[in-house]
Structure 1
C-alpha cells in the first residue's frame, strides 16, 4: 500500500498546480532588431560568410565542442547535426541586412522539472556587443520563462571563457558554482561554470532587458546611454 503523501511534511517550498512544461516550438520569433528563425541549411551561404570567416580569423570556436570549422563542407555537417539534435537551435537574422549573423539554442531541456538552458551561442563579429546579441538572449529567455512557464533558466560555460562569464552576469544570471571535470571536448577536460535565473528573479531581468533594448536608451550614434547592469541595479534598489 502506497503511503498518502499528505501524511508527510516534505522539504522545500510547495509548487501548487505544477505540470510538465511544453517543449519549445520551432517557430519564428520576431524581435525589434533581430528575428530568431529555426535553424536550417537554407542560410548556409550566409553562415559561410560570417561564421566560417570569423572562425578562420578570430578563433571563434575556441570554447565550442563542435569546432574548429575550417571548410564549407564541415560547416554544413555541423549545422545539419545541430538541426537533427535534441537542442532547439535558431538562426539570428539581422533586420538591416536580412541575413543570418549568428545562432544559439535552447538545450538541456527538462520539461517535468521546468529547467532549460540557453547555450550553443555562436555570434559572429557582426553581432558581438550589439543590440541584436542582447535581444537574441532576451527573446529566448522570454520564450522559456513567460510563454512556456519554465522555472529555471541556465547558462553554462568553460571555466576559462571570461567573455561568456561576463555576458552571463551582465544578462542577470546568478553564479552558482564550478563543476569540475564536467565535460571532455576535443580530448580536453572542461571545468564548467554554472549560472541561472529563477522564475522569482525573472521579472526584474525582463524589465531590465526591455528598458535596455528600448531605442530611447541609445544616442544618435547608437551608443548605449545606460548599461544593462545599471538599469537592473536601479530597479532592484527602488
Structure 2
C-alpha cells in the first residue's frame, strides 16, 4: 500500500505564508524489516547461521587475497575462520544493523552479506549498508538481484518512504554502484566519522518511494533471462532501462 509523497503537488503554505511540507494524511509507522528469507531466481537472502554460513563466507572472502574488499569497512580482514566466526556471530545477528546472508542458489553457498541499518519505522526511512560481496558475486547478476530484493522488501512489502546508501566519499566503486542502481546523489558530509584510525567524508545517496515503481520495472527487465545472451552477457544495461532524469 503506497503511503508516500506526491512530489508533483503545489507548494503548501501556513497561515503566515511560510512554505511547509506536504501533509502525509494517513501515514503511520512502518514495520521493522523481518528476518524471513527473500527469494530470487539467482539468490536467496536469509538470516545468518554460523553453522551454515560462516565457513562459506570466510572462504569466499579469502578469494580476495589482498583484502581490498575490507578497505572501506570498519572491521576486518580476518586471518582465521575462528576470528571471522566470532565477529560474524556478534555482528550479523543484531537488530540494527539487520544483516542478511546472500546464498547463491546454483551452488547453495553463502557468497556475501548486506544489511538494513539506521532503521526508522516512524519516518519510513532505512539505509542499506555493510555490503560485502565476495569475488564470487561481484559484477554478476546475482549482486544486482540481491540489491533489488532488498529494495522490493523495503518499498513493496513494508511501505517505507526513503531508502539510503552511504559510503566513504573515496570509495569510487561504491559510488558507481549506487548510481547504477538508481540512487540519487545528495552530497558529502565532511569529516562525518572516524574508522580504522582515519577520517571519513561520507557520500549520501537515496531512492524515494515515488521513484521506486519505475526502478522496479527497470530491474525486472534487466534481470529477465532474455536480457542475457548465451554467454551470459547483458543485452541492455540497467542504466538504459531506467527513466531519464
**Normalised TM-score (structure 1):** 0.92
Q: Whole-Å Cα distance in 2 between the matches of residues 219 and 226 of structure 1?
A: 10
User: What is the Cα-based RMSD across aligned positions, in Å?
Assistant: 1.7
User: Shift of residue 49 of structure 1?
Assistant: 1.1
Q: Which runs of 5+ in 2 are unaligned?
A: 1-13
Greater RCO, CA 8 A, separation 6+: 2
Match of 1:185 in 2: 195
Match of 1:224 in 2: 234
C-alpha contact (below 8 Å) 2:93/2:99 kept by paired residues = no
Higher helix share: 1
Aligned mate of 2:24, from 15, 35, 53: 15
* Structure 2 residue 60 is matched with structure 1 residue 60: no
Secondary structure at the aligned position of 2:69 is classed as coil
Q: Which runs of 5+ in 1 are unaligned?
A: 1-5
Q: Which residues in structure 2 correspond to 1:37-52 (within 5 Å)?
A: 37-42=46-51, 43-51=53-61
Q: Which residues in structure 2 correspond to 1:50-199 (within 5 Å)?
A: 50-51=60-61, 53-85=62-94, 86-199=96-209
User: Shift of residue 7 of structure 1?
Assistant: 7.8
Q: Whole-Å Cα distance in 2 between the matches of residues 55 and 225 of structure 1?
A: 29
Q: Whole-Å Cα distance in 2 between the matches of residues 7 and 231 of structure 1?
A: 44
C-alpha contact (below 8 Å) 1:154/1:194 kept by paired residues = yes
Aligned mate of 2:216, from 202, 206, 220: 206
Match of 1:3 in 2: none
Q: Whole-Å Cα distance in 1 between the matches of residues 225 and 93 of structure 2?
A: 37
